[in-house]
Amino acid sequence: GVTTLMASFSVYLVSLIIGVLHASCLFCFLSAGLSVSLAGLSWFGGMLPGSSLNEELYKGMDGNVLSDISELRKNGMTVGASSVGLATVMALGIFLTVDDSTSTMPSAASSGTLLASTSKTARFEENAPPAITTTSSKAALALAADLNSLDARMFGAFWCSHCYDQKQALGYEAMQTIPYIECDREGFNSKRDFCKEKDVPGYPTWEIGGKLFPGERSVDELREMVDEVMSSK
């Protein structure tokens, strides 16, 4: 009975996979084949007494034994038929719910994509550089104005402590006017490809007047670099 139930249910499931879901499942096919094989052994391998028993076996048996054999065979047939019926009911239940399940798959997939996208954006926002807490001096503000006139920019990474110290040295107001380029691909608003194109050697790196100046610099050092570039133009 159990093997018949397994075989019947497996056949229904395989037909569901092929005919409704239009999918392929090697493990499912192998499992169904094994179930059908076990059921075949149960039905045709002699586990149930059948009418094809050699008549010689019936000779010498009394009526009670023959009656018991006949009753056993009937019970086996009943269990097998019940198993097929139960498997049919279970398969129909699954079949009737497939449409509802598959109809919600696009929306579920869209929701999953939206959640993944939101999660990715949230992760990048978490990778934003830390906030600048210092106030810019007059010298830093004048320096920022000259840096802007030279189309200067600062390359860095959100995790770079020297980049943060560089920003702190210039102050919040000055850094609001100086373009900052995030080079780490996991950083917020990353411009990694642009950093590769510029061949940025490390962080932080200043680009002033088309030239690269790697390393953290003090305000005075930046002033000297700016004056040198401006005097060469």
Alpha-carbon dihedral of residues 93, 98, 103, 109, nearest 10 degrees?
A: 120
Predicted pLDDT of residue 136: 97
Predicted pLDDT of residue 154: 98
The answer to whether the CB of 93 falls within 8 A of the CB of 16 is no
Mean pLDDT of 2-21: 60
pLDDT in tens, 75-99: 555 655 555 556 555 655 655 554 4
Integer Cα distance of 3 and 31 in angstroms: 12
Predicted pLDDT of residue 99: 46
Integer Cα distance of 165 and 30 in angstroms: 63
- Rounded to the nearest integer, the mean pLDDT of the chain is 74
pLDDT in tens, 188-225: 999 999 999 999 999 999 999 999 999 999 999 999 99
Q: Is the pTM of this model over 0.75?
A: no
